[in-house]
Amino acid sequence: MLDVTGLRVTYRGRPPVRAVDGVDLTVDAGQVVGLVGESGCGKSTIARAICGLVKPAAGTVAFEGTPVTPLGLRRRPAALTRVQMVFQDPYASLHPRRPIGVQIGDGVRAAVARGAASSEPGAWLRRVGLDPDAARRHPHEFSGGQRQRIAIARALAARPDLLIGDEPISALDASTQAIVAALMRDLAVDSGAGLLFISHDLSVVRLIADRLVVMYRGRIVESGPAQEIWRDPQHPYTQALLAAVPVPDGSGRMPAPPVDDAGYPLEAVLR
Ligand SMILES: Nc1ncnc2c1ncn2[C@@H]1O[C@H](COP(=O)(O)OP(=O)(O)O)[C@@H](O)[C@H]1O
Ligand SMILES: [Mg+2]
pLDDT per residue over 165-208, tens digit each?
999 999 998 888 999 999 999 999 999 999 999 999 888 898 89
- Residue 136 gets the label, from left (phi > 0), alpha (psi -120 to 50) or beta, of alpha
- Residues sharing a CB contact under 8 Å with residue 184, sequence separation 6 or more, in sequence order: 86, 152, 163, 165, 168, 195, 197, 208
Rounded distance between C-alpha atoms, residue 178 and residue 13, angstroms: 38
Which pLDDT value is given to residue 75? 54
Q: Using a pLDDT cut of 90, give the percent of the chain over it.
A: 69
Same structural domain, 73 and 23 = yes
Same structural domain, 141 and 244 = no
Nearest residue to 181 (alpha-carbon basis) of 207, 153, 211: 207
Same structural domain, 165 and 176 = yes
Nearest CA to ligand 1 atom 20: 40
How far apart are the CA of 119 and the centre of ligand 1, in A? 37
Tell me the ligand closest to 213's alpha carbon. Answer: 1
Phi, psi of 123 (to 5 degrees): -65, -35
| CATH code of the domain covering residue 77 | 3.40.50.300
Average pLDDT over residues 54-61: 92
Please give the residue range of the domain that contains residue 241. 234-271
Same structural domain, 139 and 17 = yes
Same structural domain, 110 and 243 = no
Report pLDDT digits (tens) over 214-269.
999 999 999 999 999 999 999 999 998 888 876 655 554 444 434 444 544 444 34
Residue 11 CB–ligand 1 contact under 6 Å: yes
Same structural domain, 93 and 173 = yes
Tell me the ligand closest to 7's alpha carbon. Answer: 1
Residue 40 CB–ligand 1 contact under 6 Å: yes
Average pLDDT over residues 54-64: 91
How far apart are the CA of 73 and the centre of ligand 1, in A? 21
Residue 57 CB–ligand 1 contact under 6 Å: no
Same structural domain, 188 and 258 = no
Strands 83-87 and 2-11: unpaired
Same structural domain, 228 and 103 = yes
How many domains are there within the chain?
A: 2
Same structural domain, 154 and 268 = no
Same structural domain, 56 and 67 = yes
8 A C-beta contact, residue 37 and residue 46 = no
